[in-house]
């Protein structure tokens, strides 16, 4: 297989066999692999690499304030661009600070390469200063990892790391390089071909499985396209739309797949799961066929697995065979790249249509359209005239528009951002779906803005999340990365508080952050070299957002001081059945359909 890289063959060959240090070889290897931006912090073990990195004209290194910020920035860069994100850290605590973003990238299938320095090869295993077995630590949370002690292995290892990170199911790859290897003399040889005999991702689906899936689609009466983040990772949004419009099947998109199918499309029912729409949850529960595309039936979607979609057969397509049937039995398993799977399904279904065989979903589509109309997403304005968080996000979406990129933290604001921003395009919604990492938004937005400087990038963050990684605003200000941050400040750990309201008799143990008093976010933004704004009245929301949108040469932080008791609805309580969804407190929808699909009059 061809080694990754964007440089020309002439460029590579001109450097082949050059006498270099291991550190110089590492930098040349990153250049050959196509890395243009590296987020990182130097330290003792990785220091030899930072010297030649200073001379690189192909790589822009961005000095972050914390290694976690470097990792999330690489994630945001990758998620917004589709390219491999790169971060760099030293040994010991530098490397262990990357553990959270590595685990995050692993669960969300984000292509990323993390380069870490390690103590000298002869010192490994001696409890040397700042030694940590980062390869062992990250074994379960990376797609693959390497320890390099021979400088001759550096180019091949970097080439393999980029290839593994970006092919098959994307994911993070760690390259841990001993300081002795960085300091030693070697020759630079970029591999023309990679030899990875145990690594052969299956991307082309089997024809028999495609035909069987097409047969089930035509036989079903209540099919649903259950679209996951793998569809975006596979660049399959155009093919998805063709499939949906060809068949007329309703579409639900998971939290990770927002933007894979336009929110405005009439076939789109929204997001399923714990905080999904009534129509999307109802569609999966009452379906007789679920066509899962790059989704993994995680617990936040299925609720109580035993009662999830009890009458549905499942066509499960995923490039990772380990996901198929892991949580829900697959009647038709399809291993393959989502884009190829969907393309082949389109061909098969068009052939059936040409032969006069099409699905009959008219009653099903009408029923779901009724659910969508009866139970739309909504919220009540606070009776005291204070600011509703949902209104802030709704207006932000209307003013910034669907071409902007939105990165969120984790919690209530994440769910409101999922509900009230209009997503029309893939790679415009970045978040931590699997691991649920608070503190993701600001550094991820920074990475996205670096990768897509032409785009307006908003971080929608909670006041709790923001206080975990806001130091990267300094990185943004110094490096001319003008992101915009909307803090949805309800002065508490909002989602935990919501659970305390609903399940712990309103006993708010340790969730009050007092964030409207300490810190002063406007002064904090100013101290970081950003523009700080605040807003606490609905009447001022539009003008504040427009003022932030008008600033293009500095990061902007807006402290939206919202009502603290707003809650996220709809909701399926953890561990319960999706049949028990509530669209507001103590209010359950009526799924007016029998299990054997008899629509009531």
Catalytic residues: 67, 129-130, 179, 495
Question: What CA–CA distance (Å, rounded) separates 176 from 191?
Answer: 19
Q: What is the C-alpha to C-alpha distance for residues 382 and 384, in angstroms, rounded to an integer?
A: 5
The two structure tokens encoding residue 125: 């295993």
The token pair at 452 is: 């897509």
Q: Give the span between the Cα atoms of 303 and 32, in whole angstroms.
A: 45
Cβ-based neighbour number of residue 198 at 10 Å: 4
Measure Cα distances from 515 to 407, 465, 521, 560 in Å. 21, 11, 8, 11
CB 532 within 8 A of CB 526: yes
The crossing angle, in degrees rounded to 10, of helices 207-219 and 338-354 is 60
Task: Indicate if the alpha-carbon torsion angle 411, 413, 417, 420 is positive or negative.
Answer: positive
DSSP 8-state symbol, 230: H
- List the one residue out of 228, 203, 226 whose CA is nearest residue 341: 203
Eight-state DSSP code of residue 579:
G
Nearest to 177 by CA among 282, 50, 314: 50
The contacts of residue 81 (CB under 8 Å, 6+ apart) are 427, 448, 451, 452
**Contact assessment for residue 245 and residue 221, using Cβ atoms and an 8 Å cutoff:** no
Buried b (16+ CB within 10 A) or exposed e, 90-116: bbbebbbbbbbbbbbbbbbbbbbbbbb
How many CB atoms within 10 Å of residue 202? 15
Beta-ladder partners of 289: 223, 313
Query: Alpha carbon of 451 to those of 75, 138, 405, 485: distances in Å?
Result: 11, 26, 11, 17
* Helix orientation angle between 67-81 and 99-108, rounded to the nearest 10 degrees: 20
Residue linked to tokens 């841990």: 176
Contact 287, 281 (CB under 8 A): no
417 touches 439 (CB < 8 A): no
How far apart, in whole angstroms, are the C-alpha atoms of residue 444 and residue 433? 13
Question: CA-CA distance, 295 to 102, in Å (whole number)?
Answer: 20
Cβ contact 315:291 at 8 Å: yes
Task: Match 């399923």 to its residue by tokens.
Answer: 272
Handedness of CA 138, 142, 147, 148 (dihedral sign): negative
CA 229 to chain centre: 8
d(CA 215, CA 209): 10
356: left (phi over 0), alpha (psi -120 to 50) or beta: left
């Amino acid at each position: 297989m061809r080694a990754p890289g964007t440089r020309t063959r002439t460029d590579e060959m001109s450097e082949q066999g050059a006498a270099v240090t291991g550190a110089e070889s590492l930098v040349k290897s990153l250049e050959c692999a196509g890395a243009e931006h590296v987020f990182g912090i130097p330290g003792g073990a990785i220091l030899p690499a930072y010297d030649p990195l200073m001379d690189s004209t192909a790589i822009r290194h961005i000095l972050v304030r914390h290694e976690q910020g470097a990792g999330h920035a690489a994630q945001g860069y990758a998620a917004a661009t589709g390219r491999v994100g790169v971060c760099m850290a030293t040994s010991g605590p530098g490397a262990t600070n990357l553990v959270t973003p590595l685990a995050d990238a692993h669960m969300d299938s984000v292509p990323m390469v993390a380069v870490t320095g390690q103590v000298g090869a002869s010192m490994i295993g001696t409890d040397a200063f700042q030694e940590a077995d980062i390869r062992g630590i990250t074994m379960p949370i990376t797609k693959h990892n390497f320890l390099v002690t021979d400088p001759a292995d550096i180019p091949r290892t970097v080439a393999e790391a980029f290839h593994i990170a970006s092919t098959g199911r994307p994911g993070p790859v760690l390259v841990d390089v001993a300081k002795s290897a960085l300091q030693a003399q070697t020759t630079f040889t970029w591999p023309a071909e990679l030899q990875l005999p145990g690594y052969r991702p299956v991307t082309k689906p089997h024809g028999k499985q495609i035909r069987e899936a097409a047969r089930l689609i035509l036989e079903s009466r209540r099919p649903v396209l259950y679209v996951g983040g793998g569809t975006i990772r596979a660049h399959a949004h155009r093919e998805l739309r063709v499939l949906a419009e060809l068949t007329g099947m309703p579409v639900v998109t998971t939290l990770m797949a927002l933007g894979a199918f336009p929110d405005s499309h009439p076939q789109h029912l929204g997001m399923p799961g714990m905080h999904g729409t009534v129509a999307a949850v109802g569609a999966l529960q009452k379906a007789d066929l679920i066509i899962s595309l790059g989704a993994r039936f995680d617990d936040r979607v299925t609720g109580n697995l035993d009662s999830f979609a009890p009458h549905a057969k499942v066509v499960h397509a995923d490039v990772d065979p380990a996901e198929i049937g892991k949580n829900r039995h697959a009647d038709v398993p399809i291993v393959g790249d989502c884009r190829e799977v969907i393309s082949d399904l389109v061909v098969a279904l068009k052939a059936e249509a040409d032969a006069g065989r099409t699905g009959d979903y008219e009653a099903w589509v009408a029923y779901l359209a009724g659910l969508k109309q009866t139970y739309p997403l909504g919220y009540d304005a606070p009776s005291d005239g204070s600011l509703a968080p949902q209104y802030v996000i709704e207006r932000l979406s209307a003013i910034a528009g669907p071409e902007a990129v939105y990165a969120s933290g984790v919690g209530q604001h994440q769910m409101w951002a999922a509900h009230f921003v209009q997503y029309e395009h893939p790679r415009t919604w970045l978040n931590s779906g699997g691991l649920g990492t608070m503190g993701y938004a600001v550094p991820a937005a920074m990475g996205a803005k670096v990768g897509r400087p032409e785009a307006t990038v908003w971080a929608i963050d909670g006041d709790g999340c923001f206080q975990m990684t806001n130091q990267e605003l300094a990185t943004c200000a110094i490096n001319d990365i003008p992101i915009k941050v909307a803090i949805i400040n309800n002065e508490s750990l909002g989602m935990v508080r919501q659970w305390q309201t609903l399940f712990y008799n309103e006993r708010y143990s340790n969730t009050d952050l007092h964030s409207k008093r300490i810190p002063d976010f406007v002064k904090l933004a100013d101290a970081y070299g950003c523009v700080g704004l605040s807003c606490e009245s609905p009447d001022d929301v539009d003008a504040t957002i427009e003022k932030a949108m008008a600033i293009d040469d500095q990061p902007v932080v807006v402290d939206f001081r919202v009502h603290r008791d707003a809650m996220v609805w709809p909701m399926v309580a953890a561990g319960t059945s999706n049949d028990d969804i509530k669209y507001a407190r103590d209010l359950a929808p009526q799924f007016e359909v029998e299990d054997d699909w008899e629509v009531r009059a």
